[in-house]
Amino acid sequence: MTRRSFLTGACTMAALPASAASGPAPYGAIPSERQLHWHELEFTAFLHFTVNTFTDKEWGYGDEDPNIFNPARFDADAIVAALAGGGVRGVILTCKHHDGFCLWPTKTTEHSVRSSAWRAGQGDVVREVAGAARRHNLQFGVYLSPWDRNCAEYGMPGYVAIYRQQLSELLTNYGPIFEVWHDGANGGDGFYGGAREKRTIDKNTYYQWPGTWDLVRRLQPGAVIFSDVGPDVRWVGNERGVAGDPCWETFDPVGADGGPASPGNVRDKESPTGHRHGTKWLPPECDVSIRPGWFWHEKENARIKQPAQLVDLYYESVGRGGTLLLNVPPNRDGLLQADDIASLQGFGDYLRTTFATNLTADAKVAASSVRGKDQTYAASNLVDGQPETFWATDDSVRIADATIDFPRPATFGVIRIREEIRLGQRIDALAVETWNAGAWEPVAQATSIGARRLIRLEHPVTATRLRLRVTQASASPALREFAVFAETK
């Protein structure tokens, strides 16, 4: 998918259909257009790559010789092609980690690729990865650590201007950015230009985040901003890649001490589930590494998450309304390790084969209620494959059902349900049943739906008739899709 077609599709999603019957009013918090774009990606990748790759560390101290960064076989196209083969739709590069080493020739510091032996100081990892992402139809995002253990100005007022200049370079010189990623690392021991000391900062005020986020909005208005507290995407609260169940798209972050929240200061025990009826649309991103560590370490080459493990993570993240951000770190050659690629490919094969055929696509659907008896909101919209259509009921109807009749028996192991999230998260619980010997029998149930809910059945089910029942809702239901798939083991 090209960026142009991606944005065109997103704009289509953002336009609700015109109808003789008035559409449902939005309920609670609703997503912005940039959040709608992000939700559609589902599965993205992280590339942790810097001097740590060569020092065998997870966190560099900031005093590393830039010449140590010298990936002799670096090939951004090979890296991104492997990610695309795994089903990835976007890639975020660690442009600067806590060690302060910049993977682009920034004007703000000599601690960058410009001072390294790699490409004789003429290289630019950011440019090469961004270009490869475009060639392979992946979105490109940037991670810029707020903590900088190399910079002499860190902890002092002048550092914020340096950080914003670095961010400005990344957001103006490398094309469209889909996500800007900040973590909660907030100071400690470091090199700091030779001071070699511990520096602490007030995590709530030092970085002046509102001004930085305004900068992102101005330079890349289509980019979502990630941190513990958003403002667009929240951290799921763990590094295992697992969302809560239920997992609500809405969230009102509170500081760990009960006061205002900020990156690195949030009551993260509440992050996996979010808050039902929260005032902010702040969906979860579920980050996890394919290896035990975030950077490549030779000793971990035999400890790669296998395709079956990645499949489980997909259902526990994307399947609960979030996105999966999988870290796949390049090695010292500047390539992905063969075992990592093999695992990615196996996972990608599972996604492609399992979700290739929606078995409800040629089914007939009838509902207990259709809004204003207007076909614009007909239950058939659940199976038409069109992102801009949805089934809706009258405002007074909170409990409703849709019956799906297959033209022939269908055997499936995965159910996918999507709410019309442009109208908010409205449904609190639903159930799926199959018609058997003259009676309805339960197959599955779920609470939160949101952008998507994937239900993976313990055993395949064969049915000629299914019923989707909304059993509890805070507002009249509005559902975009009901699909079933034959899982490929």
Cα torsion through 198, 203, 207, 212, rounded to 10? 140
Tokens of 246: 């239920």
Q: What is the DSSP letter of 254?
A: -
Percentage of residues in the chain having pLDDT higher than 70: 96
Give the pLDDT confidence score for residue 488 in this predicted structure: 87
Q: Is residue 378 part of a domain?
A: yes
Same domain membership, residue 441 and residue 321? no
Give the pLDDT confidence score for residue 184 in this predicted structure: 85
Q: Looking at residues 146-175, what average pLDDT do you find?
A: 98
Amino acid at 479: L
Tokens of 395: 């405002």
The total of structural domains in the chain comes to 2
Contact call for residues 423 and 404 (beta carbons, < 8 A): no
CATH of the domain at 348: 3.20.20.80
Closest of 125, 181, 163 to residue 327, by C-alpha: 181
Same domain membership, residue 402 and residue 263? no
Q: Which of the listed residues 354, 386, 402 is the one where a domain comes to its end?
A: 354
**Residues β-bridged to residue 94:** 143
Give the pLDDT confidence score for residue 11 in this predicted structure: 39
Cis peptide before 231 (omega within 30 of 0): yes
pLDDT band, residue 4 (cuts 50/70/90): very low
The b-or-e profile of 375-401 (16+ CB within 10 A means b, else e) is: ebbbbbbbbbeebbbbbbbbeebbebb
Average pLDDT score over the chain: 95
Closest of 476, 461, 469, 464 to residue 402, by C-alpha: 469
Alpha-carbon span 163 to 145, nearest angstrom: 9
Give the pLDDT confidence score for residue 19 in this predicted structure: 62
Alpha-carbon span 21 to 293, nearest angstrom: 54
pLDDT band, residue 12 (cuts 50/70/90): very low
Check whether 5 has a pLDDT greater than 70: no
CATH of the domain at 463: 2.60.120.260
Same domain membership, residue 394 and residue 310? no
Contact call for residues 80 and 91 (beta carbons, < 8 A): yes
Sign of CA dihedral 85, 91, 95, 98: negative
Q: Is residue 2 part of a domain?
A: no
Give the pLDDT confidence score for residue 26 in this predicted structure: 98
Q: What is the pLDDT of residues 67-115, one digit of tens each?
A: 999 999 999 999 999 999 999 999 999 999 999 999 999 999 999 999 9
Percentage of residues in the chain having pLDDT higher than 90: 94
Check whether 340 has a pLDDT greater than 70: yes
Q: Which of the listed residues 316, 334, 354 is the one where a domain comes to its end?
A: 354
Give the pLDDT confidence score for residue 20 in this predicted structure: 63
Residue whose token pair is 């659940």: 382
Same domain membership, residue 422 and residue 379? yes
Q: Mean pLDDT lowest for which of 2-16, 91-105, 200-214, 371-385?
A: 2-16
**Reported pTM:** 0.95
Beta strands in 121-196 (DSSP E): 139-144, 179-181, 187-190
Range of the domain at 454: 364-485
Same domain membership, residue 244 and residue 114? yes
Residue whose token pair is 């395949």: 460
Q: Looking at residues 285-303, what average pLDDT do you find?
A: 98
Q: What is the pLDDT of residues 449-468, one digit of tens each?
A: 999 999 999 999 999 999 99
Same domain membership, residue 257 and residue 156? yes
Task: Calculate the alpha carbon distances from 149 to 55, 118, 204, 279 in Å.
Answer: 16, 22, 19, 36
Q: Is residue 246 part of a domain?
A: yes
The three-state DSSP-derived secondary structure of 24-35 is CCCCCCCCCHHH
Same domain membership, residue 373 and residue 336? no
Contact call for residues 84 and 131 (beta carbons, < 8 A): no
Same domain membership, residue 277 and residue 142? yes
Q: What is the CA radius of gyration of the chain?
A: 24
Same domain membership, residue 303 and residue 216? yes
Beta strands in 278-341 (DSSP E): 284-289, 323-327
Give kind and range of the element (H or E) at residue 79: helix 76-85
Distance of CA 227 to the CA centre of its chain: 12
**Residues β-bridged to residue 364:** 405
